[in-house]
A and B are shown apart, each in its own frame.
Chain A
């Protein structure tokens, strides 16, 4: 990607062809902050300018919010902006957009699509959601049945999606739909971007075991999607979706954490506050979970170091399996430490939860919510298959769906 001509901020651009290193980035951030005081600049304007300066995601190409720098350099840039009190781009609300839609658009979008969607995605002005899972296609995602039919003018989508986070906030959705039911299932799919405000898109909250509706069902009825909102070729949807999901595994499983952060932190705090609840058996479980969590933390740290060194390892799937189990076991033990209070529950009233820190929620809520950790983003059973087949090279599961047109599969 070459630098764009229309951008006037020459001092902030890469003058030579080589991408900036850590020191050069630090200087650019400093210069940017000198020109755009976070305290006096409108937040949205600040974020748009930061994107234009290539300091949004520095490993993205110039002109698309980045400077072609190394991926590992982003952390220091973010830290510098955070220290300066810079506005955030709604990273938690737009986790799907930033973590999954954006890399997919970058990889498969054409120039017009990148320019159309990436700026407002990064700034958080537009929230994104992911319309993949269906009632009939969970782990077997390539079996999705939502249809996309070309009527000579646009793709017409019909079907039902489920477990759609953020759909009620989203302006855009990435969707996997079936464009050829006659083809074998993996080959009959295409990948689109849906305008969530378009006619025929209906979002309904989906009540879950905690009582609230964190996710959604999305019903699509004759939703018209122009062809310039297709990512990748017709029939290439599965490859595009796999790329998206590869990023999901990183987003959910990866990242580094402080010691005692997350579920074990709440458990350890309760342990220290309630010596009257201690028994030898509970103590052993407490210590085992502490050790396992520290081992998982260091594993995630090591994975991050491998990625930063350009040696991406397959450990991501393993990290996700582990964190799911540890969250569940920590919350379960914490509930046990609560004794009688563990039997109470704050509120089962159906409502829309805000995106918030799990740590601030009650023990019972976390116990229930963490049951989903081993299901969402790839069940632990599917991830074990992934490890066994892709890491250890063991034979793939026997398949009954490989040479059969999708329309003829039992369902």
Chain B
């Protein structure tokens, strides 16, 4: 009968459900991705040099406008929010779609805090693709080491950044050159060498970038840490979508396959593993939704929400992919089955934008639980 008291330090939760608009957006993205990038097409692409599905990306950005969702209309975007971005991330994670959505989201978060409105509008429209040039494993809450420096009169940059995600097809590179300053560099211009290597996650390849006197425009007021927090929130939703896909595929397989004259899904040892996974995924959805809503509303709790979301969703997606492969048995270990696409993405995602351990360490400071 007494009301639930709200202790000091408990931020307002906000709406964790999906709106009708978000449901519609999800349906649009799913319909397009299912048609354009089913898993066997994604798998075939990994054997080619075209690591990114540029055709799918063009349709996602131009037909649905996924790159401009969090950008206000007056700045050239769709005027939605990071909540909608997160829903798209769920769908793209579900399909391990090889498109530069995550990198674009981080770049947009960064540009939103600057006066770079022309570039922001071009990115929002899908006319240009930008990426924040930091190592893939850098996460919010700790300073990103600056390995690229300004040269000459300050309008040339030199240095190296390794293991950048979503830089394969980027045409604009946003390079931290000091705290609060980024260099805007044309990816195809002189003095820039990009080397894309084979990557554990074949659907999101890493690029090493060497700058050797590359012309740059210096922009100040860039909040890299905030962009990485927003990225963490978006990535959590990607991990959620991936985990749900793994669970659904595994449930379907265990219902279909019989051994010892019984459906595999009738064995309690397997049922309980799937039940535990389902429970973990309901939690992943709650923390991912909360992080997205904190990003959307500019909540001061975003640093905590993003760290919690990454610390949790990284492990849930990995569990879903690893258990999914295990429960598929031998077929799951073959190249011709999609389980490895999800495993490789989940394993990589658990490092991208900071590992779960990184985010727990950040949380230790944020919530006063020191070592």
Contacts and interface: CB of A to CB of B under 8 A. Distances in A.
B251 to A, nearest CB: 6
B197 interface: no
A90 to B, nearest CB: 9
Given A287-B360, A322-B279, 6 more contacts: A78-B3, A258-B9, A283-B364, A291-B312, A295-B312, A321-B279
A356 to B, nearest CB: 15
A298 B290 contact: yes
A305 B19 CA distance: 12
B152 interface: no
A395 interface: yes
B17 A397 contact: no
Interface stretch (B49-57, B68-76, B160-168, B270-278): B270-278
Q: Is the interface of B mostly helix, strand, loop or mixed?
A: helix
B367 interface: yes
B278 A295 contact: no
A368 to B, nearest CB: 25
B268 A88 contact: no
B6 A384 contact: no
B232 to A, nearest CB: 13
Nearest to B254: A394
B13 A290 contact: no
A351 interface: no
A311 B16 CA distance: 13
Contact of A259 (B10, B254, B311, B369): B10
Given A272-B369, A287-B364, A302 B289 contact: yes
Nearest to B289: A302
A392 B278 contact: yes
B368 interface: yes
Contact of A318 (B251, B254, B279): B279
Interface residues of B, number: 49
- Identify which of A79, A82, A315, A388 gathers the most chain B CB atoms within 10 Å of its CB: A388
Interface of B: 1-7, 9-11, 13, 15-17, 251, 254-255, 263, 265-266, 268, 271-272, 274-276, 278-279, 282-287, 289-290, 308, 311-312, 357, 360-361, 363-364, 367-371
B174 to A, nearest CB: 30
Contact of A301 (B13, B368, B369): B13
Contact of A385 (B255, B271, B369): B271
Contacts, number: 149
Interface of A: 75-76, 78-79, 81-82, 88-89, 91, 98, 255-261, 268, 271-272, 275, 278, 280, 283-284, 286-288, 290-292, 294-296, 298-299, 301-302, 305-306, 309, 311, 315, 318, 321-322, 381, 383-385, 387-389, 391-395, 397-398
Given A258-B5, A287-B369, A295-B283, A392 B275 contact: yes
Contacts of B364: 283, 287
Contacts of A75: 3-4
Q: Is the interface of A mostly helix, strand, loop or mixed?
A: helix
A173 to B, nearest CB: 22
A384 B276 CA distance: 7
A334 to B, nearest CB: 13
Contact of B278 (A76, A275, A318, A397): A318
Contacts of B272: 381, 384-385, 388
B13 A298 contact: yes
Nearest to A387: B275
Contacts of B311: 287, 291
Given A318-B279, A394-B274, A298 B286 contact: yes
A257 B279 contact: no
A393 B25 CA distance: 27
A2 B357 CA distance: 59
A91 B287 contact: no
A280 B17 contact: no
Given A260-B9, A288-B360, A290-B363, A394 B283 contact: no
Given A259-B10, A272-B368, A318-B282, A302 B17 contact: yes
